[in-house]
Chains A and B, each alone.
Chain A
Amino acid sequence: MGAELVDLILSPDGWRTAPVEPRLAATLMYLDRLTREPESVTEAFIDEVIAAGATPSGLESASLVCLVFSVINRLVDAFGADLSPVEAQTLGAVLDKGGSAVARLRGRPKPWVRYGGTIPAPLTTCLQEVRQGKGDAPPPIRAAIEARVARQAGTIRPEPPALPEEVTDLVDTIAADAHGVTDAHIDRLKAAGWSEPAVYEFVFVASFAAGLGRLERAIRLLAAR
């Protein structure tokens, strides 16, 4: 795939007209919805993208990509990252080289093993740690953040208890648009007495829940297909 085509796919709405194979075009349509409006990913929409050329296992695999980037995008944006064009070029070249090396080390591609409606075990473990494990932030607060953001990401959770206002302000911003996190959010949390490691955990849990909520919704809808 040429650089111009990649640029077109990554430009705002460019993917809608990019000349790519139907399976990829349908998967981009799916990822657009799952990332921006997860609650609008329904059984009917899944059927639509499959009819347009996507495959259930390809959609599951793409949903994992959505989880990974939903988390990392929020973490770096919330903590104050930027990327110059020179850095982007350097990182891109190293990652290309590294990705190829990893692929060689890990051998031949394997068929995707379907989730069957169940989230992968490592994520279940992480979810349990978030809810009940040791940490710098209190587990009930972490559990409430996870439930609040996962619900916003379109998955099923019981109504969580109310959070302190300064925490709600941070996690709702991370869930909706992590660019919107400012120094004021962090200062407010610190002024309320939260330690830096606790604030880090708030950000991680909100980011994790945004990714997990999307993946859970996708896996549930794809299970019967």
Chain B
Amino acid sequence: MHRLYIHPLPVRIWHWTNAVGFVLMILTGMQIRYVGLIDLVSFRTAVTVHNYVGFVLIANFLLWLVFYLTSDRIRAYHSELNPRKHFIGSLRQVYYYGFGIFRGEPNPFQPTIYRKFNPLQSMIYQIIVMLLLPVQIYTGILMWDVKRFSAQVDFFGGVRVIDTVHVLIFITFVFYVMVHVYLGTLGHTRLAHFKSMMTGYEEMDEEPAVEPAPPDGSRRA
């Protein structure tokens, strides 16, 4: 069994803070939106917790951003600019999750330090952390104090427009978190990916692929 250190400490801190934060944001968001249907805590408490956790997640997002901007591991988030290559890779991954995995076929993607995301992960994580999460943070800040940011709220069409965008992304995140957790159980054991995200080391049956050298020779984080 080979071990590959693919999740540095800052990334693990970011990930688990996000995990707890997302669950809290979803729960308090549900409470805020569905008073009467859900009555775990008061509306006011839910709003207060939602606001505080939101700011923690903003700080956490900045941690992620600073880490990757100062690390050569940002290559994990580099887009695959060859659409044919990306399409074929994605198709292989879809085939694997939809059929191959049931037959015991190997995962067509083998992670490396600089390529730890399979084509589907790469696409989805880029959409989430580079588009949806920033938009969610921005709309959340606007709704945190609508009057203070009224000029921007009005620019985008009003508070209901901002809220609708916030809720649509919230719904996407609810779906994402559920699928993300399930896909996390599809390692070589049910808990392998969870352990990997705790220790930083991914366990692999085979020798890790030869690392492509960083283009600028920069250090690894």
* A in complex with B: no
